[in-house]
Amino acid sequence: MDFKKIRKTISRFFGWLGFNFCSLIIKVTPGKYLYGLARNIAYIGYIVARKQRKIALESLNIAFGSEKSPLERERIAKDCFTFMAKAGVEILFLMDKPSLLKKRAQIVGKENLDSAFSDGKGVILVSAHFGNFPLLLARLSLEGYQAASIIRHMRDSRMEKLFMQKRAQLNIKTIYSQPRRACVEDSLRSLKNKELLFIPLDQNFGSGGVFVDFFGRKAATATGPVVLALRTGAKILPCFIVRQENDTHKIIFEPPLALETGKDNQETVIINIQRLTSIIERYIRKYPAQWGWIHRRWKSTPS
């Protein structure tokens, strides 16, 4: 018997039960108590989710090392769990309340987005698993933008089905990162249709990407945004959603990234992926608890 597989199945089943239980509680909880509920969920999660806690602390140590003390890194890890819990609560509470979502997510730098659309092509939004990023696309959908998002398959098919329904309600298209050929074809089609194509560029990519500096260490990174921009002429626009102290959000659009040209196509890709990664790092350094530290970003290493 495959005990590892059985253990994962049991874990996902109880995770699914816990999610549904929390969903029911959120539906009957007054809005002013939601963030208190999220803090309690995060407190329990930090204690129970030992594997994720360990990954977060290891990742923080890699990123900050001697820059931050162990107590500072632990504080960031705990805050990270709190912000993730808040994001989950908000998704369940706000997705069906468009007028409230509009009030709670302010758009900054919209002129940069409109400028990127000015030449009649789609726009490549480069971001990260930072802040409550699903709300970013939901908010843009409410503004009338047609959006598509490249995501990985979730490990739990029931959870994936639920979130697919949420995205479909908001007219957000889903493009799966695998198989890769289909991902490229769907991405090109999205840009041809003058849509926003959302690409998070902050996860370990393994083989097929390039290694660039991220917090002073080489990290395997996807090349999709730059490759697609070179093929289509679409503008690349870095964007981030930043949680404020009062738990509202600011969606910030940076100016379009003017691609720098290297001596050949490969160097052009590496140069600009590094520039995008450096922008992501800048936001994480400014708001460290708002990034998802529970991912092994530096898992792959250069040969």
> Could you report the per-residue pLDDT of 271-284, keeping only the tens digit for each?
999 999 999 999 99
Measured CA to CA, the distance from residue 123 to residue 113 in angstroms comes to 8
* Local confidence band at 292 (pLDDT 50, 70, 90 cut-offs): very high
CA distance 230 to 208: 17
First to last CA, the chain: 35
pTM score above 0.85: yes
Cα three-residue angle 258-259-264, rounded to 5 degrees: 160
Joined together, the tokens standing for residue 3 give: 């005990």
What's the pLDDT score for residue 33?
82
CATH architecture of 3-290: 3-Layer(aba) Sandwich (3.40)
Is pLDDT above 70 for 8? Answer: no
* pLDDT of the residue at 31: 72
> Could you tell me the residue ranges of all domains in the chain?
3-290
For residue range 151-187, list pLDDT tens digits in order: 888 776 776 777 777 777 788 899 988 888 999 999 9
Mean pLDDT of 83-105: 91
- Model pLDDT for residues 219-277, shown as the tens digit of each residue: 999 999 999 999 999 999 999 999 999 999 999 999 999 999 999 999 999 999 999 99
pLDDT cut 70: percent of the chain above it? 90
| Average pLDDT for 21-49 | 82
Share of the chain above pLDDT 90, in %: 72
Q: In terms of C-beta density within 10 A (0-12 exposed, 13-18 middle, 19 or more buried), how is residue 298 classed?
A: middle
Predicted pLDDT of residue 13: 52
Encoded tokens for 12: 């996902």
